[in-house]
Amino acid sequence: MAQVKDAPPETKEVTPKTELSGSQVIARSLKEQGVEYMFGIVGIPVMDIATAAQEVGIRYIGCRNEQAASYAAGAVGYMTGRPGACLAVSGPGMIHAIAGLANAWSNAWPMILLGGANDSYQNGMGAFQETPQLEAARPFCKYAARPDSIKRLPYYIEQAVRTSIYGRPGAVYLDLPGDIIFDSIAEDDVECPGRCAEPPKSLADPEAITTALEALKSAKRPLVIVGKGAAYGRAEDEVLSFLETTQLPFLPTPMGKGVVPDDHELSIAPARSLAIGEADVILLIGARLNWILHFGMPPRFNKDVRILQIDIEPEEISTNVVTEAAMVGDAKSVVAQLNRELTSSPWAFSADNDWRAALKKKCDDNIASTEAMMDDDSAPMGYYHPLRVVRDLLPRDAIIVSEGANTMDIGRTVLPNFLPRSRLDAGTYGTMGVGMGFALAAALVHPDRKVIALEGDAAFGFSGMEVETAIRHQLPITFIIINNNGIGSGVSELDHEAGLPAGVYTVDARYEKVMEAFGGKGYFVTKPEELEPALKSAFADSGPTIVNIMIDPKATRRPQKFQWLTR
């Protein structure tokens, strides 16, 4: 009988596990947490993170300086509500990016800084660009951590993003060692915590709502100040409804402009000094009594002013002036509470009283004096006439980026905003050099809207090479340089024998040539009649442009009642 051999055992085909690098895990985790934009400069050890980010659909913008990249990341956080990412190499690169980290910290904007770091097993050995990066970042952020393994990267990224947008928004930092970036892990072993939910919307104590409305009803000279916290909180509809119901006069802070359109009949912005100086009850909506609002103290404010405050941060309540009604919560939700209370118990401030008459007269007087300066088309030009021409040509939905002392301050009074989150400037931190990064961010987030970056010549110089970034990505930004040959003021000619004043720059510097060097269009304007043709051509261009406008080196703003910082 023939012997039957056993059949060989069936062999199962083993599918190799998909491996992910640390860079890929980082990119996928950022994308899952709603991070859509990344700015940075690639190099050791973060090069592959940028590539991985592009592969998952994150828009990566390679900048020319980490400062501009970090400023852009913060601006994205302000405009979108999810943090923009800044990617920096270890050591000097990460240190440069702390500028934007600090700016976001001061403005309460969400952003995430990703700093490359030396391999963890080389700590303390004098590794390449070894730097105490966690210690350097911590004073300027809500959260700073160094992931301990590739497997835990998603956990740290979710925690960082969630921290940046929950409560009072702010900056966060992740320190990324090279060995974790270059490590690999089976895709099945990566545990993703899932996208963090939108921030919870907290409400104010109902008693504080009642107290605030009773205080407003008792006021003889009430005022509402709308800050950038209202803009960040997407409270524009609620604020407009509140103002139109109560008929209260309002004043925007610089980046609160546009929450309610600047041309609204209740805006008393031209009478700012009178309004804050004589108001007896002031409602702050997402605005802080810091240096921008003169600390809420005399001589700029009435010494007996009563403050009502809406702020998401409890510790901000009663800063500098004791708050009578502390409405701690999300600006949009809290103003909605006020509106609901008004629905059941309607009230509006009288249309015919001395306070309204005084504010209107002051507005009319200041508008008339400013219009006279804007109509002055003599040469050499001052600040006001060029800005009026810009104003008359801007579309209503334009995004205005502005920096540079007089250029920024005068521009705020001349150039209107009609939509929220449409003005970006030096902000709470008073940072010069933010304009180029902010303009990049605005053009990416809102590709369908006109972006102008109104720059003093000194401010432009901080990050002027980002012109090449704008050209490379064909971002339709018009950079308008108000050029007075220096910081604050300049000279008409350089006298090297007499010595150069500290704030003086090259006379008649041709900054528009920087744009032309990279293939864009530049315009050099020295006469009033050249303004409109140059600006029209620049605004119509589909790519980036520079309009370099020469003004009188000694030009200044109209006389002010108070010196800067109330001195």
**CATH code, domain carrying 512:** 3.40.50.970
- Who contacts 567 (Cβ-Cβ below 8 Å, separation ≥6)? none
Residue at 365 is within a domain: no
Question: Is the backbone peptide bond immediately before 380 cis, with ω within 30 degrees of 0?
Answer: yes
Q: Is the dihedral of CA 235, 241, 246, 247 positive or negative?
A: positive
Region of 249 please: left (phi>0), alpha (psi -120 to 50) or beta: beta
- pLDDT value at residue 549: 98
Q: What does the CA dihedral 489, 493, 499, 504 come to, rounded to 10 degrees?
A: 30
* Residues 155 and 229 reside in one and the same domain: no
Domain that holds residue 53: 19-189
CA distances from 381 to 76, 405, 493 (A): 35, 17, 17
Q: What does the CA dihedral 346, 325, 277, 229 come to, rounded to 10 degrees?
A: -90
* pLDDT (tens digit per residue) in 176-216: 999 999 999 999 999 989 999 999 999 999 999 999 999 99
What distance in Å separates the CA atoms of residue 113 and residue 96, rounded to the nearest whole number?
11
Residue at 199 is within a domain: no
Q: Give rounded-to-5 percent helix, strand, coil for the chain.
A: 40, 15, 40
Both tokens of 375, joined, read 């109509």
* Residues 154 and 212 reside in one and the same domain: no
Over the Cα atoms of the chain, what is R_g?
27
- pLDDT value at residue 21: 97
Q: Is the dihedral of CA 450, 258, 69, 111 positive or negative?
A: negative
Cβ distance 225 to 195 under 8 Å? Answer: no
- pLDDT value at residue 544: 97
What distance in Å separates the CA atoms of residue 469 and residue 475, rounded to the nearest whole number?
9
Nearest to 453 by CA among 506, 418, 508, 407: 407
* Residues 457 and 329 reside in one and the same domain: no
* Residues 219 and 302 reside in one and the same domain: yes
- pLDDT value at residue 529: 97
Nearest to 172 by CA among 299, 85, 91, 252: 85
Residue at 144 is within a domain: yes
> Tell me, what DSSP letter sits at residue 264?
-
* Residues 185 and 239 reside in one and the same domain: no
- Who contacts 135 (Cβ-Cβ below 8 Å, separation ≥6)? none
* pLDDT (tens digit per residue) in 75-106: 999 999 999 999 999 999 999 999 999 999 99
Single out the residue in 328, 358, 388 at which a domain terminates.
358
What distance in Å separates the CA atoms of residue 335 and residue 294, rounded to the nearest whole number?
24
Single out the residue in 161, 189, 217 at which a domain terminates.
189
3-state DSSP assignment of residue 173: strand
Residue at 479 is within a domain: yes
307: enclosing H helix or E strand? strand 306-311
- pLDDT value at residue 556: 83
Residue at 194 is within a domain: no
CA distances from 97 to 30, 39, 85, 93 (A): 19, 11, 11, 6
The list of the chain residues with pLDDT below 70 reads 1-15, 564-567
- pLDDT value at residue 488: 85
* Residues 322 and 444 reside in one and the same domain: no
Region of 462 please: left (phi>0), alpha (psi -120 to 50) or beta: alpha
* Residues 385 and 292 reside in one and the same domain: no
Cβ distance 491 to 484 under 8 Å? Answer: no
Both tokens of 115, joined, read 């700093």
* Residues 513 and 426 reside in one and the same domain: yes
* Residues 425 and 549 reside in one and the same domain: yes
CATH code, 231 = 3.40.50.1220
* Residues 139 and 68 reside in one and the same domain: yes
What distance in Å separates the CA atoms of residue 348 and residue 248, rounded to the nearest whole number?
8
* Residues 428 and 557 reside in one and the same domain: yes
* Residues 173 and 214 reside in one and the same domain: no
> Tell me, what DSSP letter sits at residue 330?
-
- pLDDT value at residue 186: 96
What distance in Å separates the CA atoms of residue 512 and residue 515, rounded to the nearest whole number?
5
Residue at 9 is within a domain: no
- Who contacts 307 (Cβ-Cβ below 8 Å, separation ≥6)? 282, 284, 289, 296, 321, 322, 323, 324
Neighbour order of strands in the sheet with 323-328: 250-252, 222-226, 281-285, 306-311, 323-328
326: enclosing H helix or E strand? strand 323-328
3-state DSSP assignment of residue 527: coil
Single out the residue in 189, 217, 243 at which a domain terminates.
189
Residue at 370 is within a domain: no
- For residue 216, which amino acid is it? L
Q: What is the pTM (predicted TM-score) of this model?
A: 0.94
Question: Considering its fold, how many domains does the chain have in total?
Answer: 3
* Residue 514: Cβ within 10 Å count: 21
Residue at 368 is within a domain: no
Both tokens of 274, joined, read 């009178």
Q: What's the half-sphere exposure (Cβ side, CA atoms, 13 Å) at 9? A: 3
Nearest to 478 by CA among 567, 526, 546: 546
Instruction: List, in sequence order, every residue forming a beta bridge with 546; answer none if it has no partner.
Output: 479, 522
